[in-house]
Structures are given as structure tokens and as C-alpha cells.
Amino acid sequence: MATDTKVPKNWFDQGGQVYARFRPEYPLSLAHFLGETATSRDCAVDVGCGNGQLTVQLAAHFDQVVGLDPSADQITNARVQKGVRYICAPAENLPLPDRSASLITAAQAAHWFDLPTFYAEARRIATEGALIALISYGVLQLPGDLQERFSRFYHGEIGPYWPPERKLVDSGYRDMSFPFEEREAPEMEIQRAWELDDFLGYLSTWSAVQRVNDAGREDILTGFVRDISLLWGDPMKKQPVSWPINMRVGTYERNRAVTDAPNGFAL
């Protein structure tokens, strides 16, 4: 078991390209489900696409795919794929034609949106019966003692540094307004086998980690890395890592007036 693991001082202070490298891939079954469920395969729009992890997978199921993200850095690092184009734009102002999208997705992003404004834009660009899918993945799971130490870090040590929006992810978006004809979604999960560097690289993409750095509490991070490295053992050993996928999936019908929207949203 390693006892002298050295942690680079800047491990948790890296650029946008790290997001593209370490964020976990969605299973191909997710894009397949969305493609099979949408009423048309003409055009899919992935809002808050980040570096295009889901965007490129949708290209196998739709004639054209548009990925949008407000971060120029994310768009710069987005994955190139035939049939996919990227636009730097926010969820609240989608530069797309009316009634042009048969699928509108937001993967691990909707908790950052101004939801009423985004929903208004989604309804504007949606074709009749378009599929709307808000997708998130929950807290990662590790084996054995690694999970116990990680849980203390996630809920206790770094917990106060998560932005309030993180609670929406932890609840699987169940506390969010969703003014569409909701339908059931299959259970899915992301599964990976990661070395220690992969795991720590993923943690470096967290907003809470950046907040810890900004607060000058690097000791929280270095203490956790020290402990998890000891429990991991050989840093090259691949450990199973998984995340549950949560979805809110529904269809938009123009002739259906939504009058029971929660949270005071007038839709």
C-alpha cells in the first residue's frame, strides 16, 4: 500500500480541457433511448452541452445535432463529430428557429438554468410532440472503504462549499418544475473502471472544489487525497466507479395549456 503519495499542489486548479478529459461518458443506451422515443429524428438540440459528451452520441440517431453552451472554453474543447455543430449560447436565449427541434436535452446542466426562461425557449424551438429530457447523474459510488471515506468528504468536508443548485442534482431533479407530459424513463447508470488519477481528475472538475480553493482551504483537499490514496493502494489499480442516471422526460403538446406549474412558474 502506498504511503508516500505526493499530490501536485495544483491538482485541483486546472483548466477547461480537464473537464473534457475526466467527466464520465454516458452509456450509449441513453442516446439510443432518446432516439427511439422521439417522434422524429430530424434535429436534436443539446443545451448546456459542455464538451459534447452526449451531443456526439446523439449524432448516431438524429439527422442533425446542435450543441449549445455559454462557455467558449467548453465549446473550444467540444468533440468534433459529423452531423454535429456547436454554438456558444446560453440556455435562456437559444439562437435556433421556431419549431425546429424534435429532441431537446440538457445533461447535467439544467440546475444552472433560469428554468422559466429556458422552458419558454424550449417550447419555442420544439416541434409538435417534441421530446424534452433533463438528465443528471447522481453521487458516484466506490467499493468498500473507499466509499465510506468519499461519503465523509462529499457530504461533510466539502458539503458546505456546494452551490445550492447541487441539491437539485442530488434529488434527481425531482424538486424541479417540469411542465411537460411526463413519461417513465428506464433505469440506467454510468459504469467505469478508474485509476486513482482518473478519480482525482474527475473531482477537480467540481464547482465545490473550486470554491474550496477560492476559500483558501486546500487542506480539505490535500487531506482527502492523502486518505483516499492510502485506501486505493496501487494508484494504477482500476477501481469500479458508478453513477445512477436520473431523468425527467416528457413531450410538449402545443394544444395543451399548462396551468398547474409548481414553484409559481407561469407557463
Q: Which three cell numbers stand for residue 256?
A: 395543451
Residue 18 pLDDT: 64
Average pLDDT along the chain: 88
Please determine, for residue 2, whether its predicted confidence score (pLDDT) is greater than 70.
no
Please determine, for residue 173, whether its predicted confidence score (pLDDT) is greater than 50.
yes
pLDDT band at 221 (very low <50, low <70, confident <90, very high): very high
Average pLDDT of span 141-157: 96
| Chain segment 74-121, per-residue pLDDT in tens | 898 888 999 999 999 999 999 999 999 999 999 999 999 999 999 999
Choose among 137, 150, 169, 107: nearest CA to 239: 150
Average pLDDT of span 148-176: 93
Q: So what CATH class is 16-252?
A: alpha beta
Counting every residue, how long is the chain?
267
| Chain segment 228-267, per-residue pLDDT in tens | 999 999 999 999 999 999 999 999 987 764 543 444 333 3
pLDDT band at 23 (very low <50, low <70, confident <90, very high): confident
Please determine, for residue 175, whether its predicted confidence score (pLDDT) is greater than 60.
yes
Q: How far apart are CA 251 and CA 37, in angstroms?
A: 10
Residue 255 pLDDT: 74
Choose among 51, 71, 14: nearest CA to 203: 14
Residue 17 pLDDT: 64
